[in-house]
Chain A
Amino acid sequence: MRARSRRPDDETDEASAVGLRRFLSVFGVFAVAAGFVVLIAPGVGSGLSMEYLVVMAIGAALLFFAARRWFKRALSSVDTAETPPVERRTTVSVPGDDFDEMLIKNAENAMGRLQVKSTSKDRIRAVAEAVFEGDGADVDEQLQAGTWSDDADAVALFSGQRTSVRDRVSSFVSGTPVLQRRIVSAIEQLAGLAGEEVSWGEIPDRSEDREPTEPGDHATDRWHGLTALALTTVGFGVLLSQPGLVLCGAVLSGLGAYAVAGSSPSTEVRIDRDIQPTDPHPGDSVSVTVEVENVGEQLIPDLRIVDGVPADLTVEDNSPRHGTALRPGATMEYTYTLSGVRGNHTFEDAFLVSRNLPGTLERVAETDVDGDQSVTYDVASALDLSVPLRKHASMHVGRVLTDSAGSGLEFHSVREYRSGDPLTRIDWSRAARGEGLATLQFHEERAATVVLVIDARREAYVASDDDSPSAVDRSVLAAAKLASALLAADDRVGLAALSPRQCWLSPGAGHTHLARLHDILATDEAFAPSPPTLPYYQRINLPALRKRLPSDSQLLVFSPLVDDEVVGVVRQLQASGHPVTIISPDSSGSGTPGRTLARLERRKRLSELRGANVRVVDWDRDESLALALTNAGRRWS
């Protein structure tokens, strides 16, 4: 928020500028100067009449004041209200952007540089461990010795050599600090070693975001400078004896009077919003029609409306902003199109900026909107998926092939006949050979109890770029699909959120259960499109989840794996006897050092989890879930 000037009536500094004393003193200075001129060169004065001298003095004084006004105008600027950035998705970030920001911002002072240095060295070292596939001491040795790369800058980050004069000069010329260059090079080299494509793009700058203006009246100072113009023309007109210029000054004064006399703008409008449809399918677009009526008594010459688009919907077509003028009682409407991925989105109040005709006063208001307030995307989508489950099943009959022997379809083993075995399972060919009775055993097929756990912590609200669906969006939609598929295969499915916003649905089966599950995924607070405000406390929230999990359940965890905490959670769950399959929507971006580092860190986490006997599905951005599951399943079997 910039400091804004208040109502023009509150201004007091203007009065001092036109103080009589000041005017007289300037007038006096001019008179003295004119006297000197006449004394030194008597010829000048003889041609001028006394009265005319007075006029000249006034002209000069006018020019003097005009110069002061010009100076003042040059120091000020036109002040307009800041509107809310409704088009921008403020709910998701790109993994690694915080690192980029730190790299740029903190490199400016010594303390910041220290922080940048230690943070980035730690993170790069951790990644290096995964890339070199060595143990800690070995990796440290390689980094110290500088044998890991040919790039001098990258090596210098760890080998601790002094910055050479040449480095300093080249960094001065290019404008990037030496440290920053070294960090970027180190990340680039590591990514190259890990087989990643690296190309640097522009680092997005988010420092431009300004807060929207508070409601209230403000002076825009638009016409500041008109006085200076008028004084200048009149001054020159008088000095040069040109009536035309004096007349120009008079016309400018007229415009100035119009600017000063501007009335207060009105924001008395009624706004009505109509959304079609209010319950779209995932990815469908929604058309929003906004109708504005002037319910006040006066003309609104300049009204600007910004509709309160929910933070996680993107504007697809036209604009939620509109500028118009309305007579009393007049109505206008405009339409724009939004699209979203999922979830329940509530619109905000509309943001209004109304100006008077000369544009000198601006009134900012936030107005309630009648009509539709929210859009809810459903998550149901029919598809035929086979979910590769782990051999960890309940006692119910189902379709998961287990290792326990019994009745089934797939041959398992043969054992001695015990009385009471069903006749159909006796190995009659062996009996015919006279080798006695034996019973065939098959792999038993049981139902699995699967709990879908969705990582919906603050950290999981990430996307690979500003327009992609966030990891939570993809997780929720995938969970909905998998739940349908699992329930269709007679498995029992439950749902939990890994989030400070608690959510738990016990495992169950049947159509009603599926409908309930989909409803929770679509509307529950835990999976809202905007991230939770509270942090996730593992010590409090995780035991609560573990208590609820049935002992025979296996877990499908959905997480973008953007931090180490979730790895710890998954390992704990796995250790407490629940086999885990993790489905990780890949949300790492590319093009900047921070994003590349985040991508490498995610790879490290994936391999850590694989090492801990967790099944991992690395789900690419442009890959369908079915394909990702098939590929992963092929790797496991």
Chain B
Amino acid sequence: MDEAIRPPRFALLLTGGAVTIAALALSLVPSAGLLAFAGGLIAVVGTARGSQRVLGLGALLQFAAVVFAGAASLSPGLLLVGILGAVLGWDIGEQSINVTRQLGSDATMVRSIVIHGAGSTFVGAVAMVLVYGTFLVSTGGQPLVALVAFLGGGGLVLLAMRA
């Protein structure tokens, strides 16, 4: 168990897929797309080397790319796909690293990584559909008080979360 942490190739494929989707979604803003690709590459390398720090750095770069693309007025739908891809890439990568750390590189563990990834993907997709759907059906001209309430209340709820 002393040998280096080397997650299975299939887990790398899943992570790579998620970060690639994120990067592609952001590529309409070229600089953000490049940043997201670089971040994705770093995230995959971090997963392959079993380093949570490197993976975290890659995920952070992808996240910065999302904020950057958002600042450059990328359409909300693509932004949501970008952020979801980045989070899922980190999630699957981190899961495969911690499973490999506990079970070693020569154990069978793909199933627990896939089920975990599927759970996160499902929840993320549902959240995205709900949020984007609400965004599409709501029209402009709502009172600003609603926005303030949403933002202030949402912020407080987020702060109260232990995540």
A residues sitting closer than 8 Å to B (CB atoms) are 8, 11, 14-15, 17-18, 23, 51-52, 54-55, 58-59, 61-62, 65, 77-78, 80-81, 83, 85, 87-88, 208, 220, 222-227, 229-234, 236-238, 240, 242-260, 301-304, 306, 318-319, 321-325, 334, 353, 355, 357-360
A254–B127 touching, CB < 8 Å: yes
Q: Which of A236, A318, A357 contacts B70 (CB 8 A)?
A: A236
Which of chain B's residues has its CB closest to A232's CB?
B67
**Chain B residues in 8 Å Cβ range of A248:** 66, 70, 79-80, 83
B92-108: CB near A (< 8 Å → 1, else 0) gives 00110011011110111
Nearest chain B CB to A243's CB is how many angstroms away? 6
With CB as the reference atom, state the residue of chain A lying closest to B72.
A242
CB contact between A322 and one of B79, B101, B109 (< 8 Å): that residue: B109
Contact of A61 among B87, B107, B155 (CB under 8 A): B155
Is B137 close to A, CB under 8 A? Answer: no
The CA of A18 and the CA of B157, in the complex, are separated in Å by 9
Q: Which of B12-20, B31-39, B118-126 contacts A (4 or more CB under 8 A)?
A: B118-126
Are A318 and B123 closer than 8 Å at their CB atoms? no
Please, how many angstroms separate the alpha-carbon atoms of A198 and B147 in the complex? Answer: 76
Whether B124 contacts A254 by the Cβ 8 Å rule is: yes
Instruction: Assess the A227–B158 pair: CB atoms within 8 A.
Output: yes
Interface size on B, residues (CB 8 A): 62
Verify A222–B94 contact, CB threshold 8 A.
yes
Chain A min CB distance to B143 (Å)? 9
- Whether A301 and B116, one on each chain, are in contact in the complex, defined by CB atoms closer than 8 angstroms, is yes
- For A74, the closest partner residue in chain B by CB is B56
B107 CB contact (under 8 Å) in A77, A231, A319: A319
Known contacts A242-B73, A244-B75: does B111 contact A256 (CB below 8 Å)? Answer: no
Chain B residues in 8 Å Cβ range of A208: 2
Tell me if A251 and B84 are in contact (CB < 8 A). Answer: yes
Are A231 and B158 touching (Cβ within 8 A)? yes
Is the CB–CB distance between A319 and B154 below 8 Å?
A: no
Return chain A residues, CB-CB under 8 Å to B112. 301-304, 323-325
Contacting pair B151 A254 (CB below 8 A) = no
In the complex, A54→B70 CA distance in Å? 22
Q: Is B30 an interface residue (CB 8 A)?
A: no
A323 and B99 contact, CB distance less than 8 A: yes
CB neighbours (8 Å) of A14 from chain B are 160, 162
Contact (Cβ within 8 A) A88 B111: no
Enumerate 28 A-B pairs (CB-CB under 8 Å) in ascending A order.
A18-B159, A55-B148, A59-B151, A65-B155, A65-B159, A77-B52, A78-B98, A233-B70, A234-B155, A242-B71, A246-B151, A248-B70, A248-B80, A248-B83, A249-B154, A255-B87, A255-B120, A258-B120, A301-B119, A303-B112, A319-B103, A319-B104, A322-B103, A323-B99, A323-B103, A324-B111, A334-B108, A360-B163
Number of A-B pairs, beta carbon distance below 8 Å: 212
Whether the Cβ atoms of B158 and A359 lie closer than 8 Å is no
A304 to chain B, nearest CB (A): 5
* B79–A227 touching, CB < 8 Å: no
Residues of A within 8 A of B84 (CB): 251
- Known pairs A58-B155, A355-B116, A360-B163; list 20 more (Cβ under 8 Å): A18-B160, A59-B151, A78-B52, A83-B102, A208-B2, A222-B94, A243-B76, A246-B151, A247-B135, A248-B80, A254-B124, A257-B161, A258-B120, A301-B116, A318-B106, A321-B102, A323-B99, A323-B103, A323-B113, A324-B108
Give min CB distance, A128 to chain B, whole Å: 36
Q: Are A260 and B132 in contact, CB atoms less than 8 angstroms apart?
A: no
What is the CA–CA distance of A332 and B79 in the complex, to the nearest angstrom? 41
If A247-B132, A247-B135 touch, whether A236 touches B120 (CB-CB below 8 Å) is no
- Tell me the bound Cα distance from A226 to B107 in angstroms: 30
Q: Which one, A227, A237, A357, contacts B161 given CB within 8 A?
A: A227
Residue of A nearest to B88 (CB): A255
Would A323 and B109 count as touching, CB distance under 8 A? yes
Contact of B154 (CB < 8 Å), options: A52, A220, A253: A253
The residues of A that contact B110 with a CB separation of less than 8 Å are 323
| Bound Cα distance from A318 to B6, whole angstroms | 15
Once bound together, how far apart are the Cα atoms of A227 and B157, in whole Å?
A: 10
Task: Decide if B109 touches A226 in the complex (CB within 8 Å).
Answer: no
Question: Nearest chain B CB to A406's CB is how many angstroms away?
Answer: 64
Q: Report the separation of the CA atoms of residues A223 and B76 in the bound assembly, to the nearest whole angstrom.
A: 24
Chain A residues with CB under 8 A of B119: 301, 357-358
Q: Is the CB of A227 within 8 A of B102?
A: no
Distance between Cα atoms of A77 and B120 in the complex (Å): 20
Contact status B156-A88, CB under 8 Å: no
Assess A302 versus B116: contact at CB under 8 Å? Given A247-B131, A254-B130, A258-B123: yes
Expressed in whole angstroms, the Cα–Cα distance for A32 and B132 within the complex equals: 36
A233 to B86, CA, bound (A): 13
- Among the listed B52, B79, B123, B158, which residue makes an inter-chain contact with A247, where contact means beta carbons less than 8 Å apart? B79
Query: Are the CB atoms of A23 and B135 closer together than 8 Å?
Result: no
Q: How far is the CA of A316 from the CA of B126 in the complex (A)?
A: 45
Contacts of A251 on B, CB cut-off 8 Å?
80, 83-84, 124, 127-128, 131
B63 to chain A: which residues have CB within 8 Å? 229
Instruction: Please give, as numbers and ranges, the residues of chain B lying within 8 Å of A360 by CB-CB distance.
Output: 163
Per-position 1/0 for B15-47, Cβ under 8 A of A = 000000000000000000000000000000000
Q: Is the CB of A85 within 8 A of B1?
A: yes
* Contact across chains for B66 and A233 when beta carbons are under 8 A apart: yes
Candidates B98, B104, B148; contact of A80 at CB < 8 Å: B98
Question: Which of A55, A245, A323 is close to B147, meaning CB atoms less than 8 Å apart?
Answer: A55
Please measure, in the bound complex, the distance between the C-alpha atom of A469 and the C-alpha atom of B72, giving whole angstroms: 66
Q: Which residue of B lies closest to A79 (CB)?
A: B98
- Min CB distance B63 to A, Å, is 6
Taking the closest CB of chain B, its distance from the CB of A200, in whole angstroms, is: 20
Q: Are A325 and B115 in contact (CB under 8 A)?
A: yes
Q: Are A260 and B124 in contact (CB under 8 A)?
A: no
Chain A nearest CB from B22 CB (Å) reads 12
Is B54 interfacial (CB 8 A cutoff)?
Answer: no
Q: Are B102 and A80 in contact (CB under 8 A)?
A: yes
Most B-side CB within 10 Å, residue of A23, A227, A260, A360: A227
Query: Nearest A residue to B130 by beta-carbon distance?
Result: A254
**CB–CB A250/B154 < 8 A:** yes
Q: Are A231 and B163 in contact (CB under 8 A)?
A: no
- Say whether B107 contacts A321, CB under 8 Å: yes
